Structure 1
Amino acid sequence: MRAVRIETCGRPPVAGDVPAPVPGPGEALVRVRAAPITPLDLLCAGGASYFGAPAVPYVPGVQGVGTAGGTPVWFPASAGMAPGDGSMAELAVVRAEDLVELPSGADPFAVAALGLSAVAAHMALTWRGELAAGEQVVVLGGGGVVGQAAIQLARLAGARRVVAGARSPEGRERAELAGADAVVTLDTEDVADLAARFSAACDGPVDLVLDPLFGAPAAAAARTLRAGGRLVNLGGSASETCPLDSSTLRSRSLRVLGYTNNELTREQRAAAIALIAEQAALGRLAVAHEVMTLEEAGAAWERQTAGTAGGRIVLRVA
């Protein structure tokens, strides 16, 4: 079968022929249709992640969409985090209990682009952030996949106003297309300046901040929160540290919460994927993405790494 493999850590994958996998007890064979190139794939294949350097060669891909026994499914994989192969191959072996059946009308590439990023957005908003109908939400990193999904999912959960923050013109445009009521430009590290921009864009105090960035944007957005407001952090793409001042935190009794998909149970993850796929099939949820072929995986990998792609790249496997 055709697949792409990481042969050297830190280098793009190479397409080639590999033996077809054989499922064992409790496993299912998935005919893969779509495999996204995610930040986690890039991190693991770089060889310096907190999971340690992966044994090479291996087939990357921590999630994918395909069919098992003729049924459309989404599936996870531990490629790069543990020994074994992932989704970027024509066939993948998956634990049967991890398969999530998809609605027949769901576009496999749209669902693959959303995937675990949308799961993080949904669960950080609702399960961790306790978003209630009628609340005002700030979504940082609104041009990224998590941010685009969060803007739409917050609206679907009943948020009355969603304000996004994004750095680049392309990111701000994606946030606007996702439905943000206003988009704040994140082109400075001046916390006071950013806080003033967020305050001007918001309709009064904010109830919840969804933060995949940390750093100055998170510190600024925190200043717009109401008493008892919540900030949920699920990433540090702007900085691993944040200049959140003690007076802001204490004077409003704010809650700063961490989130990771790794904390979810299999049942929580499956329910979130099912909801995301259903909303995608209904045309209510989508993120910017490109589709490239398996043979183009090396070039796609380099573009995703450099940030020059027009969104999440999804490989057309079959």
Structure 2
Amino acid sequence: MTAAPVVPLDLLCASGTSYFGRPAVPYVPGVQGVGVVADSTVHPVGGRAFVATAAGMAPGDGSQAPWCSVPDGDVVLLADGDGVTDAAVAAIGLSGVAAWMALTWRAQLRPGERVLVLGAGGAVGQAAVGAARALGAGRVVAVARPGSSAERSRAAGADVVVELGAGVDELAAQLTEACGGAADVVVDPVFGPVATAASRALAPGGRLVNLGSAAGDTAELSSAVLRSRGASVLGYTNNALTAGQRADALHAVLAVAAAGELSVAHETLPLADVRTAWERTAAGSGARLVLLP
């Protein structure tokens, strides 16, 4: 392994409170990472590779170690010399896959449509902003906390950043105005009251794709709003993807990153600082923390 991020899913699985249940211990965490193939009957030895693991979700060890053993089907070979460092790939990783597939596979984004990205200062949000622009969105509006989170959203390429602070009614009005009338697609890694406001900003035929619950596990959605606008609320998880879908999405996202159109803010730490990385991630460090074994 050359780079392994610490992501919220690692902490959630380790806590035993995820819907995967309590993990069998001991195990090495790390649901994704980048490395070099050391041994395989399928992939060339020495090949640069991205790996996904089920660490914390099923028996077995993960990526936050010098070595990681995974089935050949969970290895995605990467191009060399594309200008995207291993740490940058690790930071984008499955967050980029989720953003890309939420926009394409679930939301069926069409060129010119207006995209609203909630939690845009996070890894999924930053990737969604870049992906939406690359896919031809007519307008990309980011929603983020004031301060560094909002700055990351701007750096990701959002046309407008709406900073959180208002109540649901006022926020819904702010989002509608920022979108230039309404949002065709909402990428939602947060749910909670922010999703409530975003649902009220949906255009006729709008689609809200939920990928997580960072702001709360429940949101209040108006039946009248959804029915009158023919809007859809769609769930998304990377676990629903086939290995082929995941590989294709990762390659697509990294091609956009190689073109300089998509990135996720990150910071690297040596593997020896894994405790610090976990504590900072749990506290909400902002930038994605990537361990270098």
Amino acid at match of 1:52: G
Q: Is the aligned partner of 1:79 residue 2:48?
A: no
The residue aligned with 2:68 is 92
The root-mean-square deviation of aligned C-alpha atoms, in Å, is 1.2
Which structure 1 residue ranges, 5 or more long, are not aligned?
1-31
The residue aligned with 1:19 is none
Per the TM alignment, residue 281 of structure 1 is displaced from its structure 2 partner at its CA by 2.6
Amino acid at match of 1:41: D
Structure 1 Cα separation of the partners of residues 194 and 286 of structure 2: 23
Structure 2 Cα separation of the partners of residues 269 and 37 of structure 1: 19
Per the TM alignment, residue 193 of structure 1 is displaced from its structure 2 partner at its CA by 0.7
Amino acid at match of 2:15: G
- Over residues 163-206 of structure 1, what are the superposed CA-to-partner deviations in whole Å (9 max), with x where a residue is unaligned? 01112321111101101111112224x22111111122122222
Match of 1:178 among 146, 152, 156: 156
Structure 1 Cα separation of the partners of residues 254 and 268 of structure 2: 18
Give secondary structure in 2 for the equivalent of 1:93. Answer: coil
Per the TM alignment, residue 292 of structure 1 is displaced from its structure 2 partner at its CA by 0.1
The residue aligned with 1:58 is 27
Per the TM alignment, residue 109 of structure 1 is displaced from its structure 2 partner at its CA by 0.4
The structure 1 segments of at least 4 consecutive aligned residues displaced by more than 3 Å after TM superposition are: none
Match of 2:109 among 131, 148, 153: 131
The answer to whether the 8 A contact 1:103-1:278 is kept is: no
Give the TM-score, by structure 2 length: 0.94
The residue aligned with 2:2 is 33
What is the 5 A alignment of 1:199-238?
199-238=176-215
The residue aligned with 1:303 is 280
Q: Please tell me whether Structure 1 or Structure 2 has the larger radius of gyration of its CA atoms.
A: 1
Q: Is the aligned partner of 1:293 residue 2:270?
A: yes
The answer to whether the 8 A contact 1:101-1:274 is kept is: no
Amino acid at match of 1:192: D
Identity %: 56
Amino acid at match of 1:163: V
The residue aligned with 1:315 is 291
The answer to whether the 8 A contact 1:290-1:314 is kept is: yes
The residue aligned with 2:243 is 266
Amino acid at match of 1:85: D
The structure richer in strand per residue is 1
The answer to whether the 8 A contact 1:107-1:281 is kept is: no
Q: How many residues align?
A: 284
Give secondary structure in 2 for the equivalent of 1:247. Answer: helix
Structure 2 Cα separation of the partners of residues 183 and 248 of structure 1: 24
Match of 2:77 among 97, 101, 110: 101
- Over residues 108-150 of structure 1, what are the superposed CA-to-partner deviations in whole Å (9 max), with x where a residue is unaligned? 1000001111111000011100001111110000100000000
Which structure 2 residue ranges, 5 or more long, are not aligned?
38-44
